[in-house]
Amino acid sequence: MSRVAVATTSQLAADAAREVAEIGGNAVDCALAAALLTINTEPGVCALGGSAFITIWSAGEDPITVDGNVAVPGKGVADEDRKQGAVEVSLDYGGGIETLVGPGSVSVPGTLAAVEDAWRNYGSAPWPAIFAPTIRACRDGFPLSGACRYYLGYSGDIIFGRSKDGHTALHHDDGSLLDAGDTVIVPHLADTLDAIANEGARLFYEGEIARAIAEHCRNGDGMLTLEDLRSYRAIERAPLMSRIGDWQLASNPPPAVGGAVLTAMLLACADLDIERWDATALAQLIEAQRACLDFRQRHLDLAEDVGPEAARLVETARSGRLLSRWTSASTVHTSVVDDSGNGCAITASSGYGSGEMPDGTGLWLNNCLGEIELNRRGLDAGPPGARLPSNMAPSVARRDGAVLAVGSPGADRITTAMQQFLINYLQIGMPLADAIAHPRVHVDTSGADIQLKAEPNLDLPEVDLPVTVFPELVMYFGGVGAAVFDSDAGFDVAADPRREGGVFSPDT
């Protein structure tokens, strides 16, 4: 059995990683097994027809990030047939959101291509083995998690009632929504995953499943075509590198924006010399968030080429100029390390969900083209094949004798949750579980007015922003999962108390 530590979204997913470790799978194999299970058993929160980023740092090797982000669809579609087939919906979720669903909101999925690339180049277990726990769970049925039930309470009918099989999966015979803990069986999903386990990802991108997805979208006036799927490729990129104390951190590079924003936030707080979060330290943390998120809105979200603007953000933070102007759905994550010093972090998303499920597949498709707060260009998001914006930032850090894999779900709270955890753990030196559980703040720039949102029991400074203090720790502020292996201290692993999670290590 391989010795690995795993932090992921559910205990069922952690057990999937353990199963692959028992047959000798390495950190990447175990991470992929856990990620596949949580992607396919968190309905509403995530689905296989979405996007994923995988950061891998093997001992003695350079780190890489596998970009499996969604892409703009529409290859072979005439201009007059573009930007159709999307429906605007309003949800009370998260204080109220507007998003686009339906076939026209679906972008080219990249998750499975990234999974296969990571397995082919960095895994060691058989391909069917990393699918086996997920296939079994989907065939036998899995419990509806509390996080899923919470979101589906807002979206279960208006979004996930759009397809017959999807509605059947999530509702009782009388039409009422399943409760947390009820068993979910998604029609056809186990069979689809079994076919992929036997034939590989090409079935999803070139074969029968690809044709079903493309025909479903085009018949609903969406832009996703078979040519889009056939031409999609995962891309291996050099991660964005930064230093925190004596740790080197590898995170998601452009064209995704999450890694650059996270790196800038950390650099803006690099001179913090604190033992606890007092008002002075929190003031600098808040300023860092405010400046970085403002830069993102003004320069990154609508940039034709994210790379130069991301580099400018990081350099401005590194030089200390970033703070000078401030005088005053849905993701899942898995982190795995092993005792050979390898680390793997996987974050995946399908947006708020399009509600679309091609007949006979069991596969929910993403609505990332219609996720307006991230894809501010909307349905006119760029040329076909271009990657859409992403805030995901799966990261692996390393120092002599130690490796850390970490990431978080949480939409635009991913980077702020990660910023605070990394400062807590790598700079302040909190124990791993304490570093994750410590109360957080988030500068919310999503509405017309910037607001500060905070969890309780923080010594908040005076700020020129409206402030909302939540009564307890809540999943709004992310769900960090981290796993560490230190050659002297051994394994440590922790999941966020803000949402359901699962862990295991050789010591548990």
Say which residues have a Cβ less than 8 Å from residue 163's Cβ, sequence separation at least 6: 355, 356, 357, 364
The DSSP 8-state label assigned to residue 182 in this structure reads -
* Residue 328 clears pLDDT 50, i.e. is over it: no
pLDDT digits (tens, 9 = 90+) for 248-298: 999 999 888 889 999 999 998 888 888 889 999 999 999 999 988 888 877
User: What value does the CA radius of gyration of the chain take, rounded to a whole number of Å?
Assistant: 21
pLDDT the model gives residue 136: 98
Mean pLDDT, all residues of the chain: 91
Indicate the domain borders of the chain: 238-331+407-481
pLDDT digits (tens, 9 = 90+) for 344-378: 999 999 988 999 999 999 999 999 988 876 666 67
Which residues on adjacent β-strands are paired with residue 444? 451
Q: What's the pTM?
A: 0.93
What is the DSSP secondary-structure string of 222-263? Answer: ----HHHHHH---EEEPPEEEEETTEEEEEPPTTSSHHHHHH
* Residue 190 clears pLDDT 90, i.e. is over it: yes
pLDDT digits (tens, 9 = 90+) for 60-80: 999 999 999 999 999 999 988
pLDDT the model gives residue 394: 95
Per-residue CA distances from 355 to 243, 251, 491, 495 (Å): 41, 31, 40, 29
What is the rounded average pLDDT of the residues 208-216?
A: 98
What is the rounded average pLDDT of the residues 422-441?
A: 96
pLDDT the model gives residue 209: 98
pLDDT the model gives residue 323: 55
